[in-house]
Amino acid sequence: MSVYDFSAKDAKGESISLSNYKGKVLLIVNTATACGFTPQYRELQELYLKHQKEGFEILDFPCNQFKNQAAGSDAELASFCELHYQTTFKTFGKIKVNGTETHPLFAYLKAHSRGFLGQRIKWNFTKFLIDRNGRVVGRFGPITSPSKIETALVELFT
């Protein structure tokens, strides 16, 4: 099993199979637009633009479980990111990352990596680095800026 076995609805409500990303290096992030870490969108976009041609994709999953910091519709959240941070990577619909309604993709990600709180996700902007075979190879907490992930990311391109 790998991340390619999952699908999720994008911000437009269309089901997207993650198998569309086979062979790419992925950074999967649970995000929010009204969070202290929201400015990380800028660094995420810079990282994306810098490495997209090498087969890198960022998958943005808004999550409203942490103090309602991703309020609004899926379309509004995607629009906010595009307008304020000029994001061009894929934004999905809101999901849950903890609890009984955890999205199956995030259940898988958490089961294959441990963070500060074990398998639970502590907060918005937890980042999962995925290799070209769809395996979780790194988990980074919210305080880890995207630029600090670049070294681990670049190693996956070789």
Among all residues, which ones are annotated catalytic?
35
What's the chain look like in SS3? CCHHHCEEEECCCCEEEHHHHCCCEEEEEEECCCCCCCCHHHHHHHHHHHHHHHCEEEEEEEECCCCCCCCCCHHHHHHHHHHHHCCCCEEECCECCCCCCCCHHHHHHHHCCCECCECCCCCCCCEEEECCCCCEEEEECCCCCHHHHHHHHHHCCC
Burial class (CB in 10 A: 0-12, 13-18, 19+), 115: middle
CB-based contact 141:148 (threshold 8 Å): no
